[in-house]
Amino acid sequence: PDTTLLEFFALRDQLVVFVVNQDDIHAVHLPATMPQTQQLLQLLWLNLRAVPASQSARRQSLTGNAQGILSKLYQQLIAPIADRLHGRQKLIIVPHGPLHYLPCHALFDGSDYLLSRHEISYLPSASMLKYCQTAVRAPDGLLALGYSGNGRLPDAPHEAQTIAQSWAGTALLEQDATLETLRRCAANYRVLHLATHGEFRPDNPLFSGLALANGWLTTLDIFNLRLQASLVTLSACQTGRSLVGGGDELLGLMRAFLAAGAASLVSTFWPVEDAITADLMRRFYQALADGATKGAALRQAQLPYIDQHPFFWAPFFLVGDTGML
């Protein structure tokens, strides 16, 4: 009763959103076309790409610019239905087309980000909701893999080890984080955490992957896994990027992990900052250990950073079931 599902469509480039509550459904025509929204989305991505190399003074300017773009997107996508979201704690967002590349939780109403008001999760399609909620889950256990990529991500092994220790789980670090070990034991754990380098291949998304000690865990490899994980966390760069194919079908790591049996997945829209990622993940798993649901735990981990540029906190998003582990 406290959840609303928002499913977006483009009909001849005109945007429509279905607002689905417990006892009613409304179709609302939005005041923007998909090309107009896509143009703003491209400006947002240009802004995000400028952040890592910017100095602090420049970063303040970029933050204001990003908020301006995100405010325009809010007016196009959320403002026309804001009255229907009043009192709803959770939003489940089903994007369409280019909106799959939009961090909707970072939409800005002029004073607050959407994440400040709601717990937000995503689905690749509305039909996935029941599948994610009823996925078979291992009884317990956490497996954390940490691979620095020959020193490129020095915080990754420490992140994995810290999470494993706090949960009395198993850690596979550096040269022990191999393809064979993951394939052999992944199905035995309720939580999988992978801290490593990720790469999105828009030219061939089936070869997007995660770097492990002896090779790449590709999208094709993941489709062949048999998981019983309530949660898979991909603490790596661009793990949530997908190629949007015909019929709005997504090709990438996210869809592969869900197809392999994961009930939910934490992924990233863009390259992430190593130190902030480690701290955000620490907060996320502490909230889970304290009894928070998956959706609430991720929100709690992001909110301490919300005064910074969205580049630092908004890449992380939850897909699938948002409930308890």
Rounded CA separation 140/189 (Å): 6
Q: Give the pLDDT of residue 281.
A: 92
pLDDT at residue 176 in the model: 97
Chain CA centroid to CA 233, Å = 9
Task: Say if residues 280 and 317 touch (Cβ distance below 8 Å).
Answer: no
The candidate with the shortest Cα–Cα distance to 294, out of 303, 304, 284, is 284
Q: What is the pLDDT of residue 243?
A: 61
Q: Residue 65 contacts by C-beta under 8 Å, 6 or more apart in sequence? A: 47
pLDDT digits (tens, 9 = 90+) for 8-30: 999 888 999 999 998 899 999 99
Supply the pLDDT for residue 240: 62
Sheet of 316-320, strand order:
25-33, 14-20, 3-11, 90-94, 119-122, 316-320, 264-268, 231-235, 191-195, 142-146, 170-173
Convert the pLDDT of each residue in 78-94 to its tens digit.
Answer: 999 999 998 899 999 99
Residues of the chain predicted below pLDDT 50: none
d(CA 147, CA 136): 28
Looking at residue 271, its pLDDT comes to: 83
- pLDDT in the model for residue 244: 63
Angle subtended at Cα 184 by Cα 180 and Cα 186, rounded to the nearest 5 degrees: 110
pLDDT of residue 249: 61
Q: Which of 97, 113, 111, 52 is nearest to 271 (CA)?
A: 52
Supply the Cα-derived Rg of the chain in whole angstroms: 19
Joined tokens for residue 82: 């804001």
Please name the amino acid found at residue 122: Y
| Cα–Cα dist 147/154, whole Å | 8
